[in-house]
Structure 1
Amino acid sequence: MGLVQLGLIHLQETVEDLRLEKVADLIDNGRWNVELIQEAFSPLTAHKILAIPLANQGNVDSIYWFDSTNGIYVCKSGYNFIRSLVAREEASTSSGPLLQAKLWRRLWASPALPRCKEVAWRAVRNFLPMRGELVKRGMQLDPCCPFCETEVETCGHLFLKCPAVERVWFASDLAIRTESFSSVHALMVAVLEEDDVDFIAAVQQLMYVTWEARNSMVFNGRKLDVGDVLRRSSMLKPWDDGIHIPQSLTASRPANWKRPEEGIVKINFDASVKNEIGGLGMVARGTHGAILGAAALYPVSVISPLLGEACGFRWALKLATEFGFRSVCFETDYLQLFEWWKKGSIGLSYLDTIVRECRLFTSAFSYFQFTFVRRSGNLVADFLARNASNFPNSVWVEEVPHDVDHLVINDALASSPALI
């Protein structure tokens, strides 16, 4: 496998005396040779290399097509790549990026209220009057985000990167991690590619209510309240265009953790990635909600949240075999990983490599199931992943850290047969 596989890493940075020709020259016994990499590359490049997860099984050298998710070239991919170049050139001279016609149709065909769809459309096209844009046009005002007051307000910042709005996405039932997306355009493409009109509508509703809350802060000085935003979003149903409907009639029941069937061990896992450093968390519970095992791992170097989730899956599978579980059900709140698993890809990407290893692990179980759950059903694993730095490389048998006891109890109570 040539060093070209490393994408943006520049070969010119290698030290000639080291005679590095292949990626394999940088690997020692299945692990990156950290000292060699740090000697041969700049600190930034070395960090990016070390953040690439290695497969335990090894790979055959392959030609990799960089512009597809699975690394395999097809004519359609080449055609779309050329079209994207044209679109980017057009976007640089127009008001904003373009979506494919098929995706635009999905945006307008969702069951969300027209005003919600319009805000989503304007956010993608960068047509909303953000402070950063208004200052560029000559207006005399503070360009900072009214919520966090630290970054310039743009569509990308307000809807994806602002810490206050990140809390809204996290508390919602959409299971979207905004750190995975570089722009509102990228978020909307990912959302519209889902074949779930209710999910698309829910995203548009939350974006609209976020914009509402922003305007309320700017013009009325009202601070953002996560609970109010989520309640308002739940009331924006297609049949309601300004008429208040009691929350009891509109709020959907949260997707809490559910107990596995008799004899099955349910294993929830999660990853939390920021600046290419991640933490992993997993928890295994039995039929009655009793803790059978839990673990946390930190730090883990990964180049993307999706790869972090895949590495977390591989790690959780390995731990499950070490715990001696035979009949298992794994749950993730990361929809992209679940979809990747379902399609059974045989691609050449880093993700495909990790997923193939995960499939090998499943042969160790007499019964195996992999399911998707909303984040509200994965709170224990999520907590362990986000706080993994507090207890790095820890394993608990039949217990969890005291800080997470309340979440375990809530899951057990919510899943009690008497309450379902």
Structure 2
Amino acid sequence: MKDFGLFALIHGQAASSSTHVLPTSFWKLLWKAPALLVWRGCMKILPVRGSLRARGMDVDEACAFCGEGAETMGHVLLFCSRVRQWWFASPLGLRQENEVEFHEFMQDFSKAVDPQTLARFFTLCYIFWEARNALVFHGTPPRLKLLLAREAALFLPPDSRQTQANDLPLPATWLAPSNDVIKLNFDASWRVNAASGFACVARNNVGEIMAAATAPHMAALSPLLAEAGAFKWTIGLAMDLGFRRVCMETDCMRLFQAWNRKEVGCSYLFSLLMDCRHLANTGFVSFDVSFVKRSSNKVADYLARHAEAFGQTVWIEEVPTVVEPLVLDDVTTLVPT
């Protein structure tokens, strides 16, 4: 993904464009996405208040979110002061400055980013428009955490639609690492308007528990950010425990894909992963990350879901009694990697 921390490139390109005739390739892109909402916005047929007022309807044209300026497509989905905060808090971490025509912005933006970023952008546009309608027609005020949770539930990266966890040829049980490697399974729990929970369990090549830990954490903006936070926390714990050769395992495909893509940007997710890369490169002799099914990560999953009850705790060479059956089940099906 290219860096759109400030939309300077977009603003510069769009501001210099005076044509309202968009190329056929751009329309084909929108239909292929699919992105009907964005297509309607570019065609100026979305019923925003500014358009309704221009067509003679007796409506207040002020933006439903901020109450400042006319509610145009570009304003309500990109440049409203409130929506700008949402974009920056989103997984894309976008920041906007000068307002431009929505179709001009979209033409340049679609050329500058990769398909996955564009797909996520379309998803967020839909969610923000949905929030606008909920406010206008039902008086329901938008809440950022709920919007981001909905995005996490709706968005499916284009390159993962055919590779869901249940379809991958992955073992259904925990696998032992090689002789000199410590495997750390980690997980995060996430609930709307509640604290996140982090957990990890470290085991050697014969399944012996080296350590386990839990930590309640401040509320994360999305499940993905909670998983990334748990990742960074687990790396730090591994360093504190003196593990030098490690393999990290997660059952979060989106985190695993973001780690492998090695993208750069200015969002909070990219910032967390950048910190993780720095720690991985400086604190270990060898460092690896793997994706596993939930059934191969059940100890960390249980601990994360009950992190608030366990509190901030580290167990050395043992686990809480309640998860011992899960550990035993992993050992009885132990398969070396």
TM range (shorter): 0.5 to 0.7
Matched, 1:182 2:101: no
Q: Name the aligned partner's letter for residue 298 of structure 1.
A: P
CA distance in 1, matches of 2:110, 2:222: 25
CA distance in 2, matches of 1:260, 1:292: 13
Of 162, 167, 181 in structure 2, the residue corresponding to residue 264 of structure 1 is 181
Q: How does 1:12-411 map to 2 (within 5 A)?
A: 69=92, 71=94, 75-76=109-110, 84=122, 182=150, 187=154, 189-190=155-156, 193-194=159-160, 196=162, 199=164, 255-276=172-193, 277-363=195-281, 364-411=283-330
Query: Which string of whole-angstrom CA distances, capped at 9 and with x for unpartnered residues, describes residues 186-211 of structure 1?
Result: 63x506541526x39969xxxxxxxx
- Corresponding residue for residue 17 of structure 2: none
Cα deviation for residue 317 of structure 1 reads 0.4
CA distance in 2, matches of 1:396, 1:408: 14
Q: Name the aligned partner's letter for residue 288 of structure 1.
A: V
Q: Give the % identical residues.
A: 33
Q: What is the SS of the residue equivalent to 2:160?
A: coil
| Shift in alpha-carbon separation, 1:76–1:416, aligned structure 2, 3 A | closer
TM-score by length of 2: 0.57
**Paired residues of 1:70 and 1:346 also in contact (CA < 8 A):** no
CA distance in 2, matches of 1:183, 1:323: 36
Q: What is the SS of the residue equivalent to 2:264?
A: coil
Name stretches of at least 5 consecutive residues in structure 1 with no aligned partner.
13-44, 53-63, 93-178, 204-251
Q: What is the SS of the residue equivalent to 1:347?
A: coil
Q: What is the SS of the residue equivalent to 1:358?
A: helix
Q: What is the SS of the residue equivalent to 1:270?
A: strand
Q: What is the SS of the residue equivalent to 1:266?
A: strand
Cα deviation for residue 344 of structure 1 reads 0.5
Count of residues in Structure 1 that have an aligned counterpart in Structure 2: 223
| Shift in alpha-carbon separation, 1:78–1:384, aligned structure 2, 3 A | same
**Paired residues of 1:268 and 1:282 also in contact (CA < 8 A):** yes
- Corresponding residue for residue 412 of structure 1: 331
**Paired residues of 1:192 and 1:200 also in contact (CA < 8 A):** no
Query: Which string of whole-angstrom CA distances, capped at 9 and with x for unpartnered residues, describes residues 71-103 of structure 1?
Result: 48962178969x959x959x98xxxxxxxxxxx
CA distance in 1, matches of 2:166, 2:295: 19
**Paired residues of 2:186 and 2:301 also in contact (CA < 8 A):** yes
Q: Name the aligned partner's letter for residue 199 of structure 2.
A: G
* Greater RCO, 1 or 2 (C-alpha within 8 Å, sep 6+): 2
TM-score by length of 1: 0.46
- Corresponding residue for residue 9 of structure 2: none
CA distance in 2, matches of 1:370, 1:310: 13
Q: What is the SS of the residue equivalent to 1:288?
A: coil
**Paired residues of 2:165 and 2:293 also in contact (CA < 8 A):** no
CA distance in 2, matches of 1:334, 1:285: 20
Query: Which string of whole-angstrom CA distances, capped at 9 and with x for unpartnered residues, describes residues 306-358 of structure 1?
Result: 00001100100000000000000000000000000001011100000011000
CA distance in 2, matches of 1:384, 1:339: 24
| Shift in alpha-carbon separation, 1:201–1:313, aligned structure 2, 3 A | closer
| Shift in alpha-carbon separation, 1:408–1:194, aligned structure 2, 3 A | same
Cα deviation for residue 292 of structure 1 reads 0.2
Cα deviation for residue 183 of structure 1 reads 7.6
CA distance in 2, matches of 1:68, 1:319: 25
| Shift in alpha-carbon separation, 1:66–1:282, aligned structure 2, 3 A | closer
**Paired residues of 1:71 and 1:347 also in contact (CA < 8 A):** no
CA distance in 1, matches of 2:226, 2:303: 14
Cα deviation for residue 385 of structure 1 reads 0.3
Name stretches of at least 5 consecutive residues in structure 2 with no aligned partner.
1-5, 7-64, 69-81, 97-107, 131-146
| Shift in alpha-carbon separation, 1:196–1:263, aligned structure 2, 3 A | same
